[in-house]
Amino acid sequence: MTERLKAGAIAPDFSFDSPWKKGLKLSGFTKKGTTVLMFLRYMGCPICQMKIAELKKEFPLFKKRGVSLLVVLQSTPENITPMISQKDMPFVIVCDPHERLFTLYGVRPGSIFGYVTPTTIVRAIRATLQGFKHGTYEGNEKQLPATFIIDKAGKVKYARYGKNVADVPKTEKLLAEIDRK
């Protein structure tokens, strides 16, 4: 199992496919400037759907700073495209159904205690009340999230591994880290 990355480490480069484009590379984004690389579970997860909706709404805050946003999911393109179209997605979805990138970045599944927590239950109820419905199960149901901010030189500026499946930093926290010199 790959070690967890820390701030100051060089971010491993990788090639990937999105639901709409093939053969993309992380370095193609980082060479343009700061990149946020966020690992969630899969598109059928209501908590993940809610987070993606939040990111779509808040994306102009990233764009204003010239920041690329990539969200890694355990999903296949075939399970994403019926749920969302390319024209409705302002940032990049990275398909990792074999969890190769999760492994590369040391993003591991948790135990049942990281899956059933008060925070997770509250977020799941909130997602359901907002109309997000559970879709196709993919990957490891207990997969934990992680978020990295990578600078133009490919160096990890910020690394955060979630403690439960709903433990993803808010946009305001990420923007504060991006703005910090």
How do strand 156-161 and strand 146-150 relate by DSSP bridges? antiparallel
Q: What 8-state DSSP symbol labels residue 116? A: S
* CB atoms near residue 118 (< 10 Å): 9
Residue pLDDT, tens place only, 119-157? 888 988 899 999 999 988 998 889 999 999 999 999 999
User: Per-10-residue mean pLDDT for the chain, 181 residues long?
Assistant: 88 96 96 97 94 96 97 95 89 96 94 79 90 90 95 97 94 95 65
Q: Give dist(CA 28, CA 155) in Å, integer.
A: 14
Global pTM exceeds 0.85:
yes
15-166 folds as Glutaredoxin (3.40.30)
Closest by CA position to 25, among listed 99, 80, 101: 101
